[in-house]
Amino acid sequence: MPLVNTVEMFKKAYAGGYAVGAFNVNNMEIVQGITEACQELKAPVILQVSAGARKYANHTYLTKLVEAAVIENPDIPIALHLDHGSSYELCKDCIDGGFTSVMYDGSSKPYEENVEEARKVAEYAHKYNVTVEAELGKLAGVEDDVKVEDDKAQFTDPDEVQDFVKRTGVDSLAIAIGTSHGAYKFKPGQNPKLRLDILQEVAVRLPGFPIVLHGASSVIPEFVQQINQYGGQMPDAIGIPEEMLREAAKMAVCKINVDSDLRLAMTASIRKYFAENPSHFDPRQYLAPARTAIKDMVAHKITTVLGCAGKA
């Protein structure tokens, strides 16, 4: 099937009490690992590209990789999504370049400016059957070009969501309920906790409307341990407990973003391979098991966190 937008994905996810995985991609092995897992488990998937990934791999290379994934995995719906589009111009460029979904992130801007820009993006995108995600609230952490200090983070205000969605016409909304970008989401001794009360209140204000969680990697401990075992230095990397994410997926959350866990799975595999095979230098030798590590991690997310196996 051709690339799709997220309308039907989210409608089914909301009704079925599960979420669709939105996995960040920037090279061939990551695209392959993600989509092979989804094809085997018959799970819908969103392949998302950040501005940083476009700088690294080039828009054309990325879209062609995704087109190849569509051909090779014909039984699953795949959406191509822009993650954290910082401007109308960037969103427009991706829409014109074949993306089926875009995120406009104006969360760092004043409320009225966020509303106006998101509305402008939605008006343009809907002309081309492209869905739009926006963000209210501000997540802490670091992801590519997105950097927010802990003291600048703020939870989403449920009182704003109805006004925002009505005035912008966006199709989904990313909210801040305690997730955080990057691998260092919490300090040692902190008790990771999602504000499911805010999520519930948002769901009451916007019945049936799809909600998105950014910064939702769990920073799987086995990968951190393996990275450190084989020469890495990632002390105190802590993520979101998977059981909390599963609860959110049973509620109004229809899309859960995963990026750091992909990076950790790939890096852990490569570090281990290098340590065990010091004479090898062919990239195919170490990228093949890295691709398998990504595939296994995505399969784990689908079955344990997202609940979307068999929902293609």
- For the annotated catalytic residues, the residue numbers are 83
Expressed in angstroms, the distance from the first to the final Cα of the chain is: 11
User: Chain centroid to CA 198: how far?
Assistant: 20
Residue 45 structure tokens: 């998937």
Diameter of the chain measured on Cα atoms: 60
Look at residues 144, 17, 14 and name the one whose alpha carbon lies nearest to residue 90.
144
Contact (CB, 8 A) for 90 and 51: yes
